[in-house]
Amino acid sequence: MIVPGRFSNGFRDYCQSTVDRVLVIRSLLESGLPVRLIKEALPSITDESDGGTDVVHAEFLREVQSHRDRLAARIAVLNDQRAALDAYLQEARRTGP
């Protein structure tokens, strides 16, 4: 997802735009977005030179919203499961061993 430049001695050259790109990638990964989605949208997020970025950006935002909605649904299921376990534990403590 990043391609650093190279100095004549072979060392990598991380210019500010590359560093900024890494920060965007890390932020998106930390938010739980899949790498596939980040790779697809990354050029439009970090490169403002293309005139078609509005369409790609809107599609990316739809994908992010969809991912967020799926996470919210999973969280709701997990909360229900936790509540059921809490109820079971509470009942078990009340009735004793």
- Angle ∠(16,18,22) on CA atoms, nearest 5: 115
pLDDT in tens, 42-56: 766 655 555 556 776
Instruction: Tell me which fold the domain 5-95 belongs to.
Output: Multidrug-efflux Transporter Regulator; Chain: A; Domain 2 (1.10.1660)
Query: Taking each helix axis from N to C terminus, what angle separates 53-95 and 35-46, rounded to the nearest 10 degrees?
Result: 140
Q: What is the pTM of this model?
A: 0.62
pLDDT in tens, 80-92: 999 999 999 999 9
Residue pair 7/13 in contact (Cβ under 8 Å)? The answer is yes
Q: Which two tokens stand for residue 9?
A: 């001695």
* Identity of residue 5: G
